[in-house]
Structure 1
Amino acid sequence: MKKAVVITGASSGIGAATAIQFGRNGYFVYLMGRNKDRLAEVAVQCRAGASLMSCDLTDVPALNKRIGEITSTTIHKVEVLVNNAGIFDVHSTEEGSDELWQKEFEVNLMSAVRLTRAFFPYFKQHGGGSIINVSSSLGLKPTAATSAYSAMKAAMINMTQSNSLEGGAFNIRVNCVAPGIVDTPIHSFHALEESKRQEAIATMNPMQPLGRIGTAEEIAKAIYFLGSPESSWTTGATLAIDGGITNA
C-alpha cells in the first residue's frame, strides 16, 4: 500500500503548505477542510496524489463518514495524522460568550480529539503511526484577549503528552508544534490590501527575537519532520517554532 497522510484544515495556510511538503516526499494526501474549491487548488500541488475530503469537522456524522472512507481503503496506508484545523478569535473576557468558547472548543480541540480517537485503533492495527497536533505559542504563553484560543491550544499540548504515553507501546508517536505569528489566513492582517498588510507585518516583526514573523512553509517542514521516520525516537514533544517569541 502507498503511504498516506491525513491533514485537517488543509485548504490554506499551514495545512496547505504541509500537504505540499508531504506530497513532495511521496505521501498520498487526504485533504480535509470545508472549502472544496480551495482543497482542489492544493490537491494539484501534491506530487504523489491527493483526495478531497471536504467536511465540516464540527459535524460529527459527516466527520465519521470521512474517517470511515479513509480507514477502509486498501490502496493507501495512513502513516501520519496532522490535526491542524483551527480558528482564532480575539475577544475581551467580557466578550467571551458561551457560544464563542464552544466554537473554539469544537474546532480547535474536539476535532483533534475525535480524529485521534478514531486513528488510534487504525495505527495499532497497522503497526504504528505518527500524530502531529498543531497548537500555538499562545498555548505556552498566552496574551490578553486570547483566553479561549490559548486555553484550547494549551489543552492540545497536554493531550499530546498524555496520548504519547498511551501510544508508545504500539509505536504510535504523538507530537506537537507550537507556531508563533505566521503569515496565514487565520490572522486578519493576512486579508488586508498588500501595502497595509506589509505595514501590519512590519509592526509585528520586532516582537520576535529573530526579527520577523514566520511562514507556513517553515511550520510545514517541522510538521513533516515530526511525522516522518526522521524523528523516529521523538514522542510527547512540543516544538515551538516562533522566532523566539515565547521566550521574549
Structure 2
Amino acid sequence: MKERYKKKGIKKFIAYFQNYTNTYAPIDVLRKTYIQAIDEDIVQLDIATRPDCIDENVLNLVDEIKREYNIEISFDIGLQSANYHTLLKINRGHTLAEYIYAVNLIKKYNFEVVSHVILNLPGDNIVDVIESAKLLSALRVDGVKIHSLYIVEGSIFGEMYKTGKLEVGTLDSYVERCVTFLENLSPKITIHRLVADPPHSGTLFGNWGKTKTEIVNLIENTLKTKDTYQGKRTKIS
C-alpha cells in the first residue's frame, strides 16, 4: 500500500488502527501491536477506540512508545451524540460521562483527540446536534469526523429498516444539521470528514444514493448560500 503512494512522492505516513477497539487487549499485546506498525516512514499512530476502553495503563504505554520512537499519537474516540438517552437507545455501551472522562484523560497526556459524531441518529433533533457541537468545543477536542447514518444488513437497525420501523431523515435535513453543527463548533477544531463512507457491500441504506463528493458539495454550497461558517454561532472558542 505504501509503495503505491511513495510513487506519488509521499514520504511519511500515519499508521491508523481503525477497525474495532484498538485498546482492548492486555498491555503486552498492545505494545507488540503498536510497535509492529512503526518503521522509518511512520510519523504518527492514530488509535481508534471506545471511551470505556481508555485508562491510564493504556495511555502510559502509548506515552512510553511516543518517547521511545519519537512518534506522534492521536486517538479517535466515538461520541456519536451528546444525547445520553440516544446513546442508550442505540446500545452504544458507554455513557456520556465516560466519553467526557476519556477525552479529559487523553488530553492530560497531550495526545490529539479526534471525535466522531453521527448527526442524523433516530431520536436526535437539531438541539442535540447543537449540544454535540458545544460539548466538543467545551472539551477542546482537536478534530471531528462527522458521519451520516448508514444501515447495514444483519444489524438491529437493519431489521427495523426492512420492516419499516426505522425511518432515515432526508438529505436536506442532514445538510441542515451539518451546517448547524458547524456553526456551533469552535473554529479551532479541525474537520476531518463531513459525511460517512458506507461499505460497498451489505449496506441497506447509505447517503441517499449520493456520492460523498456530491454531499460535501451540497454542504459547502449551503454554507456559501447562507453566508455562514464554522464557529459563527459558538460562544465556546
Q: TM-score range by the shorter chain?
A: 0.3 to 0.5
Give the alignment's TM-score, normalised by structure 2: 0.41
Higher relative contact order (CA 8 A, sep 6+): 1
Q: Comparing both structures, which one devotes a greater share of its residues to helix?
A: 1
